[in-house]
Amino acid sequence: MTALEKAKEIFMSWRVLLLIAVIILSIIAISPQFETKGVVITSVATNSSAEINGLTANTILYDLNGEQINSVHDYSAAVDNIKAKDIVKFGTSSGGFSFIAESNILGEIDLGITIDKVPESNLKLGLDLVGGVRVLLQPDEELTNQEFQDIVDITQRRLNVYGLSDIHVRQVSDLEGESFILVELAGTSNKDIVKTLVQQGKFEAKIANETVFVGGVDVKSVCRSADCSGVRSCSQISDGTYACNFEFRVDISPEAAKRHADITKDLTTQFIGGSQYLSERLDLYLDGELVDSLLISVGLKGQETTSFTIQGPGNGPTEEVALNNALDNMRELQTVLITGSLPVKLNIVKTDFVSGTLGEDFFNTTITAIIIAILAVGAIVFVRYRKLKIALPILITGLSEVLIILGFAALVKWNLDLAALAGILAAVGTGVDSQIVITDEVLHGIKTLSTWKERVSRAFFIIFGSYSTVVAAMLPLWFMGAGLLKGFAIVTILGVSIGVFITRPAYAKIIEVLLK
């Protein structure tokens, strides 16, 4: 049989054609970009001018005020040329946007967005590879599945306030059947977010110990823009430290406004500092603790007021620390008022912070390890059989398995993390093992099995036994594993399934033809 006839027989086989088709589809799904333009907007601050004017996360920013943006450095340089009240013009993948630039309380220009370099493919890298936070939470008491889902929904809403583009919150279980909440936030290391996660967040406003409104129930809107929220004053106090005060407006429901009118209509008045106020204060409680106690103007007596100004303090050894503390406290209160309270208290079981630089090193090291492993296996196979026509197909099918797994991950937008890469490595390892079984059966199959078909069938009987064992071992981790264990199980099962049903049949046909 000539080389041309062998090539024709290989490429006319439906098994090889299936492998080629899946490889092509995988490349299309991954969609590698060898030259990228612009930067990607990873988050948009709530109530910022950018959000109000329609900018959303995952939009590509190409130019800013006519300056081309191709890197984070380009963006920073362009922002440095902008002053407060300047008109900012964005050229993006969703069209043009323009709005007036605002400055934050520190006087810095804040366009309300965060950016990063444009991805070079459709592959989504998990927080292990791009940096971020992973938090495992456990409730104080046993919950039903519906109560767990309520916690997941509330936690998701709380995190959405931060405008992040890559948020994953889900219920997970360990091998003992205990349930947890797993939160994964790629691309951020904000420790205030972790504090928000475990806060039960029950906010109540009371007058004379009677509830006027409750956060997440009676609150209709919470102002987060500069014109009706922010730090209004900072001053040094007697012990040499600094105190700052924040305020923001909230709008409450008509039912809560009526309760306010009923509670205040019979209150007496008093003079404080030359001004007249009601005899009772508006007390603000967060998780049962008094946060602040506000004076109520006499003009609000018996009035169905639907708008309130919430105030609070921030302290620190320096004015800047006090200012940042006040801003953090304000954002915390705003988030709780917007999203409401959790049904139970949550405890942090484990928190992992991964830096972006460390994550990139992990990714490069793991990909290098996978490539080296495949090449090393190819070299060992060549030494074992002394035939390049055996070693090369094993290398090609091994690389094909990796490519198909990555293509599937890109298609379903699966986040690739270290566990997923370990699963790919495990799948490639089992694939090589199966290919060696096929090769040995074809070359040295027992003499009673004289035909190629019988020898390959015997090899696949062994392979399916091995496949069933791997899947059986991974299923408990899939259904009961938390975080990394579950990701490893899913990718391993996916990888060995691709191998058994796509790449190994193609390899068997290639070897059958080449060794005839």
| Per-residue pLDDT, 22 | 95
Instruction: Tell me 40's DSSP state.
Output: E
Rounded to the nearest angstrom, the gap between the alpha carbon of residue 328 and the centroid of all alpha carbons in its chain is: 22
Q: How many angstroms separate the CA atoms of 306 and 445, rounded? A: 85
Q: Express as a percent the part of the chain with pLDDT over 90.
A: 6
Average pLDDT estimate for 457-486: 75
Q: Which residues of 317-332 are buried (b: 16+ CB within 10 A; e: fewer)?
A: eeeeebbbbbbebbbb
Which secondary structure element, helix H or strand E, spans residue 496, and what is its range? Answer: helix 484-498
Q: Please write the tens of the pLDDT for every residue from 426-451.
A: 888 777 778 887 787 777 654 455 56
Instruction: Tell me 249's DSSP state.
Output: E
Taking CB atoms within 8 Å and a gap of at least 24, the contacts of 3-9 are: 6/513, 6/514, 6/516, 9/513
The set of residues, in sequence order, having a beta carbon less than 8 Å from that of 225 and lying 6+ positions away, is 47, 48
Residue 452: pLDDT band (50, 70, 90) is low
Task: Look at the chain and count its residues.
Answer: 516
Is the pLDDT reported for residue 331 higher than 60?
Answer: yes
| Per-residue pLDDT, 215 | 77
Q: How many angstroms separate the CA atoms of 442 and 18, rounded? A: 22
Q: Please write the tens of the pLDDT for every residue from 173-189.
A: 776 778 888 888 876 66
| Per-residue pLDDT, 513 | 84
The DSSP secondary structure of 97-119, one letter per residue, reads EEEE-EE-TTS-EE-SEEEEEPP
Which secondary structure element, helix H or strand E, spans residue 63, and what is its range? Answer: strand 60-64
| Per-residue pLDDT, 403 | 92
Q: Please write the tens of the pLDDT for every residue from 152-181.
A: 888 887 777 666 657 788 888 776 778 888
Q: Given CA atoms 90, 93, 96, 100 in this order, what sign does their dihedral have?
A: negative
Q: How many angstroms separate the CA atoms of 326 and 247, rounded? A: 9
The set of residues, in sequence order, having a beta carbon less than 8 Å from that of 511 and lying 6+ positions away, is 390, 393, 438, 439, 442
Which secondary structure element, helix H or strand E, spans residue 87, and what is its range? Answer: strand 87-92
Q: Given CA atoms 298, 302, 304, 309 in this order, what sign does their dihedral have?
A: positive
Maximum Cα interatomic distance, the chain, rounded to a whole number of Å: 109
Q: How buried is 5 (Cβ within 10 angstroms: 0-12 exposed, 13-18 middle, 19+ buried)? A: exposed
Q: Looking at per-residue confidence, does 248 or 341 come out higher?
A: 248
Residue 129: pLDDT band (50, 70, 90) is confident
| Per-residue pLDDT, 404 | 93
The average confidence (pLDDT) of the chain is 81
Of the candidates 381, 367, 398, the residue with the CA atom closest to the CA atom of residue 496: 398
What's the half-sphere exposure (Cβ side, CA atoms, 13 Å) at 218?
Answer: 23
Average pLDDT estimate for 475-487: 69
Is the pLDDT reported for residue 29 higher than 90?
Answer: yes
Q: How many angstroms separate the CA atoms of 444 and 5, rounded? A: 25
Is the pLDDT reported for residue 341 higher than 70?
Answer: no
Give CA torsion, residues 317, 319, 322, 326, to 10 deg: 170
| Per-residue pLDDT, 24 | 96
| Per-residue pLDDT, 17 | 94
CB atoms within 10 A of CB 207: 19
* Phi/psi of residue 294, nearest 5 degrees: -105, 140
Average pLDDT estimate for 483-495: 79
Strand ranges inside 253-345, DSSP E: 269-272, 275-278, 282-286, 289-294, 307-316
| Per-residue pLDDT, 16 | 92
